Amino acid sequence: MPAGHRRDGRPPADYDDPSRLDAQGPISAGIAIDLLHAADPRPVVFVALHGPFGEDGTIQGMLGAAGLVYTGAGVTASALGMDKAVFKRLGRGLGLPVVDWREVTQHRWEAGREAVLADLGAFAEGTGDQRLMIKPARLGSSVGMTLAHAPDEYAPALELAFRYDTLALAERYLPDARDLEVSVVGNDPARIELYGPGEILAGHEFYDYEAKYTPGLSETSPRAEVPDRTRAVIHKIARDAYRGIGAEGFARVDFLLRGDEVYLSEINTIPGFTPISLFPVMCAEGGYDFGGICRRIVELARERHAMAARPPLTPSDLPR
């Protein structure tokens, strides 16, 4: 770790002022990439940006175009992982178990709210439970997400979701489901490492933003108590999801478990590294401490970049 970058008791407010960290900024992404490109030697960029522009393929495309080595998934996998609607469609197409859902565009909502609410009411009735999880399609950290308990809460939940995105998802609610997570590490789908599942015990009715980031509110366990067969099923689905979007480097795959029913929830191509985040903790199964898993992620970034840097094929290389 570079000198001066350790926490060492530094107050959180220091991170709001770059000058206190002997850092530049705020600066535009373009200028930052130019500075990285001009550095000698060029660094490996450890991408730790959450949400739009950070884990949706945008910054990955900019870094790749500049010829910089960066950690984690590439452009396509990042975009697929970020878009919950597309990811669920892909998962269902691969035969993976996903929770039933409906998609609502902001245009459709504004053109006919009563029709949308009637559709969602019929969908919920078909599931046997009026409750729906309503969320923006392309966001993270449970921002804009609502557990709507009854039809009169659907409209406010959609309005909140549309503050953050033009597409909202309404998912069937699974009462008493457990929140499980799996850490995945690797580039080659045949040799990826899977750790977990760990379990989240949310401090609120569901794992919302406050429950995720308020110290002590929620609890986590790096080793969920599940039967060996269930663990094997979860690992297989995690592997298939990781391979399905073409992920590389590392990711966290989230699940819902109700009884012996396993459901793929989503994939996070830039999982959290906060004190309560399970991704780095679960990797201890493979002998990684925090620094070790960070180094492994950097190694995988270099490996992928080296593969991509091979000379292009010429006509003489093609089979005749």
- pLDDT value at position 316? 72
- CATH fold of the domain at 101-172: Dna Ligase; domain 1 (3.30.1490)
- pLDDT value at position 22? 76
Question: 80-95+175-307 domain in CATH 3.90.76.10?
Answer: no
- pLDDT value at position 6? 63
- pLDDT value at position 279? 96
Distances (CA, A) of 296 to 35, 129, 249, 282, 288: 25, 44, 9, 14, 9
- pLDDT value at position 1? 46
- pLDDT value at position 7? 65
What does the alpha-carbon distance between residue 192 and residue 186 come to, in Å, rounded to a whole number? 5
255, two tokens: 């699940």
- pLDDT value at position 311? 66
- Which residues of the chain carry a pLDDT beneath 50? 1-2
CA-CA-CA-CA dihedral for 216, 149, 97, 209, to nearest 10: -30
Domain extents in the chain: 12-72, 80-95+175-307, 101-172
**pLDDT tens, position by position, 118-171:** 999 999 999 999 999 999 999 988 999 999 999 999 999 999 999 999 999 999
- Which residues, 6 or more positions from 119, have their beta carbon under 8 angstroms from its beta carbon? 102
Instruction: Using alpha carbons, select from 145, 250, 251 the residue that is nearest to residue 202.
Output: 145
Sheet architecture: strand order including 146-148: 101-105, 167-172, 132-136, 146-148
* Pair 235, 182: CB distance under 8 Å: yes
Q: CA 85, 89, 90, 94 torsion: positive or negative? A: positive
pTM for this structure? 0.90
- pLDDT value at position 11? 79
Burial 228-239 (b: 16+ CB within 10 A, else e): eebbebbbebbb
- pLDDT value at position 3? 53
Q: Do domains 80-95+175-307 and 101-172 have the same CATH topology?
A: no
